[in-house]
Structure 1
Amino acid sequence: MINNRWANYINQSLAVIKLITYSIIALAGIYRLASNWSVSRFNWEHPINGDTNISAYSSSILLIMFSYDGWNTLNYSLDEFRKPGKKLIFSNSISVGIVTLMYLLVNIAFISVVPQESISNNNNIDETIAATFFYKLFGKSVGIVRLFTALVVLSVIGTAAAGVWSGSRVIVAAAASDFFPKYSKELRTWNQYFNTPINALLLQFIWCSFIILFVGSSFTITSFTLFSTFSMYSYWIFYFATGIGLLLIRRNKKNELKKKQFDMNDKELNETSSLFSNITREYKVPLPFAIIFILAGLFILVFSFVVNVECPKDKPNCDLREKTAQQLAPILISYGFLFVALTCWYSFYYWWGSIKDQREAAVMRIADENEKPYDFN
């Protein structure tokens, strides 16, 4: 993503491919359900034997959010657009609606076409359910099956591309507030020719390469499960903290406004109230939605630690502690990196800040001493 314009073209093209692929899956599944009801209704009339443990819902949400990731990418680049307030409202509303609709329709299609044993088989569900779906629909045409499988792969690439694009903007925004000690200026710098944050993208590339090479090769769970759970759990830590932080900011702004109102006359008070109400209509999220969002994040962060592992039938005496550790690996990695990052940030931020303040104080002291007139008497 060297050029920002081409990056937008690529992301938009991959998003269109993803929507087309999911739409074809949904329409094909619904058509099969309607035209072959005598066979397709079996899964709807018989409960699917799956994992109903409460922890399974939190882990499933992480994988689902990874598959549909990218719907909120615009939130990280509002300063690059005109009228960001309106774009924020419309983009989030439309994106949430599209994701919800696609998720429901795709699941209806899978349940209607894929045999129940393939859905409930935990060993294959992560990677082959889409392929099984296409084989059931186009089993006689291997070329069509491969084509749609490739489209699914492209949709996953689109998810990764959206993550790269939005991640670089998060780095730039953090650097703009001097979040990174000493290197904030370099990380928030945009290349004028390509109009893209090259330094932030380079840092992200180094970080992702480290995770892939050293973290990905250390665990036995599938790479898809490891990286998707790790990335989305880290996202939800960020989402949860951001949701609480925004509510605190909203409360503090209300308190500040109330304090200012005591010192204003009626005309100034009406003007300020009108201005505040306009800002509220454009940017304020209804409080119930914010609370639901925070509670959902709390549910994911807490119940992801509750894992239910069993030994496979061919290995009844397996080590459950090892399997539990493997299942918890993405979550523990997320908190491990978070702890290291916060420790380094706190140490370097205050350490570097104190050194910087001492240097500035020393320079000011020397300057003051040089400006003092000498007493030759």
Structure 2
Amino acid sequence: MITKSGGEYPYLMEAFGPIPAYLFSWTSLLVIKPSSFAIICLSFAEYASAPFYPGCDPPVVVIKCLAAAAIVIITTVNSLSVKLGSYVQNFFTAAKMIIVIIIIVSGIVLLAQGKTENFKNSFNDAKISAGSISLAFYNGLWAYDGWNQLNYITEELKNPYRNLPLSIIIGIPLVSVCYVLINISYFTIMTSTELLQSQAVAVTFGDRVLYPASWIVPLFVAFSTIGAANGTCFTAGRLVYVAGREGHMLKVLSYISVKRFTPAPAIIFYGAIAIIYIIPGDINTLINYFSFAVWIFYGLAVFALIVMRFTRKEFKRPIKIPIVIPIFVTIVSILLVLAPIISEPEWAYLYCVLFMLGGLIFYVLFIHFKFNWAQKISSKYIYYR
């Protein structure tokens, strides 16, 4: 119905107006997308460095330097060429499927051999509460995050009415089946305690199952994470560009290279913010921080679908789904956002909300009143001269 790039941004703009759309772009630019990029690159760094430190965890400095280097390389690739970025994505996606198949087949063989002891009484020590379940969903749903990435490049898709839903219908079930089977494979070899203590779960799996060919696991998992990071960078730059085009970001971020057709300023800015997130944060903290923020806007974007059934009746709807689905997802989003705050409140959630609302100050100054500080400074300088 809305064929603009930028994912949730144009949907919020159409349904609720510029302020919610601006807050989404503000939060995405400074929290959601860079923290996701940082998490994936930190994961890459852990797997890439694990084989060089057998029997112990890699130094934190090494992990963070590797993650920063990965961010620099990926942003450079996506700034140089759209085709190069897509070629990199295709290569690493193929590499990802190779390691997925290896791990799944190994797990199936072990299960067939009767290795099922880790599945007995699996939930005996589980802590059941609304907050703990929500935090568990944060980590689980973060692994699936990316289901909305194609909507960020809608304007660049060929025949989006056919290819967008087709890719989602094929992609999400395929990923879901692969992820579930991979986790089953992990649990055939490791107890829940061993899995939690492992710095790189796939490496531990490879050491126990594929020895002496265990080196292929960290190599291909590193490929997989680089591919995920490249995809995140490729799409996130489009959000910044679209927000800049609408006047909700610095004008320079809306520029596109004439020769390369890439939103290079937006991608470089996005990469710089991601490097800042690498310095203080660990993966689990970043995931919780990221998930709380992102599900606020996922819920709003799905709620926009319900709202526009009544406020935009005149719009042509090439793809129409039963309204019960967005109602269900909206309720789930509300529960995911509120449950951890109520049952396990932390200051981080309050800081996240204050940060999001803090964007209103910039909106009022620079967008509503169009306060241009650079122009005022230059005019005063010219007057003084």
TM, length-normalised to structure 1? 0.70
Q: What is aligned with 1:136?
A: 208
Distance, in Å, in 2 between the alignment partners of 1:10 and 1:43 is 38
SS at match of 1:46: coil
Distance, in Å, in 2 between the alignment partners of 1:76 and 1:243 is 15
Q: What is aligned with 2:338?
A: 302
Q: What is aligned with 1:156?
A: 225
Distance, in Å, in 2 between the alignment partners of 1:163 and 1:179 is 21
Q: What is aligned with 1:195?
A: 261
For the pair 1:225 / 2:284, whether they are aligned, the reply is yes
**Which residues of structure 1 form unaligned runs of 5+?**
217-222, 258-275, 309-323, 356-377
Which of the numbers 79, 85, 88 marks the counterpart of 1:7? 85
Deviation at 1:116, TM superposition (A): 4.6
Tell whether the 8 Å contact from 2:295 to 2:337 is kept in structure 1 after alignment.
yes
Question: What letter matches 1:84 in structure 2?
Answer: P
Change in 2 beyond 3 A, CA 1:82/1:22: same
Q: What is aligned with 1:288?
A: 324
Q: 1:199-258 CA distances to partner (integer Å, 9 max, x unpaired)?
A: 211221232233334x53xxxxxx11123333333322221221122322232112xx4x
SS at match of 1:304: helix
Change in 2 beyond 3 A, CA 1:136/1:115: farther
Question: What letter matches 1:152 in structure 2?
Answer: V
Which of the numbers 91, 99, 109 marks the counterpart of 1:21? 99
Which of the numbers 55, 61, 69 marks the counterpart of 2:131? 55
Deviation at 1:33, TM superposition (A): 0.4
Deviation at 1:354, TM superposition (A): 11
Distance, in Å, in 1 between the alignment partners of 2:324 and 2:154 is 24
Q: 1:113-161 CA distances to partner (integer Å, 9 max, x unpaired)?
A: 2235424xx5x26x343333222212x42xx323202322332232222
Alignment of 1:252-331 (within 5 A): 252-254=311-313, 257=314, 279-280=316-317, 282-305=318-341, 325=346, 329=348, 331=349
Distance, in Å, in 2 between the alignment partners of 1:252 and 1:60 is 36
Distance, in Å, in 2 between the alignment partners of 1:72 and 1:16 is 20
Q: What is aligned with 1:113?
A: 189
SS at match of 2:312: helix
Q: What is aligned with 2:36?
A: none
Which of the numbers 350, 365, 370 marks the counterpart of 1:347? 365
Which of the numbers 68, 81, 91 marks the counterpart of 2:157? 81
Name which one, 1 or 2, has greater alpha-carbon Rg: 1
SS at match of 1:283: coil
Q: 1:163-191 CA distances to partner (integer Å, 9 max, x unpaired)?
A: 222211111222232223xx34x322211
Tell whether the 8 Å contact from 2:142 to 2:287 is kept in structure 1 after alignment.
yes
Distance, in Å, in 1 between the alignment partners of 2:185 and 2:366 is 52
Distance, in Å, in 2 between the alignment partners of 1:13 and 1:333 is 39
The structure whose RCO (Cα within 8 Å, separation 6+) is larger is 2
SS at match of 2:236: helix
For the pair 1:30 / 2:120, whether they are aligned, the reply is no
Question: What letter matches 1:233 in structure 2?
Answer: F
Distance, in Å, in 1 between the alignment partners of 2:321 and 2:371 is 36
Distance, in Å, in 2 between the alignment partners of 1:337 and 1:158 is 30
Question: What letter matches 2:357 in structure 1?
Answer: F
CA RMSD of aligned residues (A): 2.6
Distance, in Å, in 1 between the alignment partners of 2:231 and 2:352 is 20
Q: What is aligned with 1:43?
A: 118
Deviation at 1:306, TM superposition (A): 5.2
Which of the numbers 189, 213, 216 marks the counterpart of 1:147? 216
Deviation at 1:106, TM superposition (A): 1.4
**Which residues of structure 2 form unaligned runs of 5+?**
1-77, 374-385
Q: What is aligned with 1:244?
A: 303
Which deviates more from structure 2 when the two are superposed, residues 73-82 or residues 110-119?
110-119
Distance, in Å, in 2 between the alignment partners of 1:307 and 1:130 is 32
Percent identical across equivalent pairs?
A: 21
Q: What is aligned with 1:172?
A: 241
Distance, in Å, in 1 between the alignment partners of 2:129 and 2:183 is 20
Deviation at 1:27, TM superposition (A): 1.8
Deviation at 1:307, TM superposition (A): 6.1
Change in 2 beyond 3 A, CA 1:200/1:103: same
Change in 2 beyond 3 A, CA 1:52/1:132: farther
Tell whether the 8 Å contact from 2:237 to 2:270 is kept in structure 1 after alignment.
yes
